Amino acid sequence: MANALAVAGPNSRFQGKGVKPAGFWAGLWHGIISPVTFIVSLFNPKVRLDEVKNNGKWYDFGFILGVIIIFGESGSRVN
């Protein structure tokens, strides 16, 4: 059964037959949830950070953008 939250992994909604591969919006979501996904992946080998069945550059762009949204200001300093 495919999950409704569009998380990456073996039961992803993008793994079904006839389903379009993960695109920009799924990549953005996976980038945003990547910190939690990483922690879960340490304990569950079936969990991945990214979706294997994706459409390439647009998915990657969304993923990186999602990571920037989460970690973008973590290196800034206040003066």
pTM of the model: 0.78
Residues 6+ apart with CB under 8 A from 10: 46
In whole angstroms, what is the distance from residue 69 CA to residue 46 CA?
26
- pLDDT tens track of the chain, all 79 residues? 445 556 666 667 777 788 888 889 989 998 999 998 899 889 988 888 888 888 889 999 999 999 998 888 766 666 5
Give the residue numbers spanning the domain of 30: 1-79
User: What are the structure tokens assigned to 67, written together?
Assistant: 């990571």
pLDDT for position 7: 65
**Cα–Cα distance between 28 and 67 in angstroms, integer?**
8
Q: How many domains does the chain have?
A: 1
